[in-house]
Amino acid sequence: MSAGAGLEQLLGQVTPGRYETYESLLDALADSQVWMLLWNGRPGSPDAQYGNMEVGGYGYAPCVTSPQELAASGWDRAHEVVPGREIAAALFPERWGIWLNPHAPGGGVGVPWLDLRRVAMGLDQLPAGPLRITEPSLDIAQFYALLSQNAHRTPAVRSLRRCWVQPALGAAYLAIGLDLYDTGRQAVESAQQMMRESVAAVPDGLPVSSVAMSDDYDPVAMWLRRNSRPFFDRDVPAAHAAQQAGPGQGYGYPRPY
């Protein structure tokens, strides 16, 4: 079975709550081609513009999954054939998703831009959404104390935040938000070394990950910016930094299919 055929087969199986099937769909999309519908221009021309549609307040570019689906759609303007991973990398920075086969019975399937980000960067590199994010309730004061001490000795670190992340698939984990004064290689490497030295105080079996607070596209970093205060902050007195924000709302993203 070709990747394209697999993609079309999975489209008919995706329903709300079937995250394993949806994850398989994203995997197939990464290795398939899609036929992007052009509202204006021709492929490669300066005035080329994808079609667009809005669902639930979010923007999507419509596409189809094969020449057969293109014919079935009745689209009479130009189109552009693009690898799935390539279109994902092009659209997610603009916060656009894609909508697969919107002409199909049931309306097709929308892939939000956060999932296109995962397709572009690697499904195994980023947690599967929608994410349920909350304040952590773990009693691991020793780890936080050691991490704060190590951060104090790491000049690149401005502040640290924390949250508990439950992906749609896979184990929950503690996420540490790293806010750095700069994002150069040396600063990033020093922060990574700080994390490696600190995880020795983490109880066995507790997964810990870090996220760059400078990443405007990471849903965990977005939640932390909106809902948490630093537990380490070099720029404010320690007593003030110790005051924690109240529990925030869970963060997810649209599932219109």
The whole-number pLDDT of residue 112 equals 97
Nearest to 153 by CA among 201, 191, 209: 191
CB contact at 8 A, 239 and 231: no
| Residues 140/202, Cβ–Cβ less than 8 Å | yes
CA distance 120 to 209: 20
CB 208 within 8 A of CB 199: yes
Q: Which residue segments constitute the domains of the chain, with CATH numbers given? A: 3-121 (3.40.1350.90), 132-241 (3.30.460)
pLDDT tens-digit map of 55-106: 999 999 999 999 999 999 999 999 999 999 999 999 999 999 999 999 999 9
Confidence at residue 150, expressed as pLDDT on a 0 to 100 scale: 97
The model's pLDDT over 171-187, given as tens digits with 9 standing for 90+, comes to 999 999 999 999 999 99
- Tens digit of pLDDT for each residue in 128-169? 999 999 999 999 999 999 999 999 999 999 999 999 999 999
- Amino acid 123: pLDDT: 96
Residues 6+ apart with CB under 8 A from 6: 28, 32
pTM score, whole prediction: 0.86
Task: For tokens 């773990």, name the residue.
Answer: 138
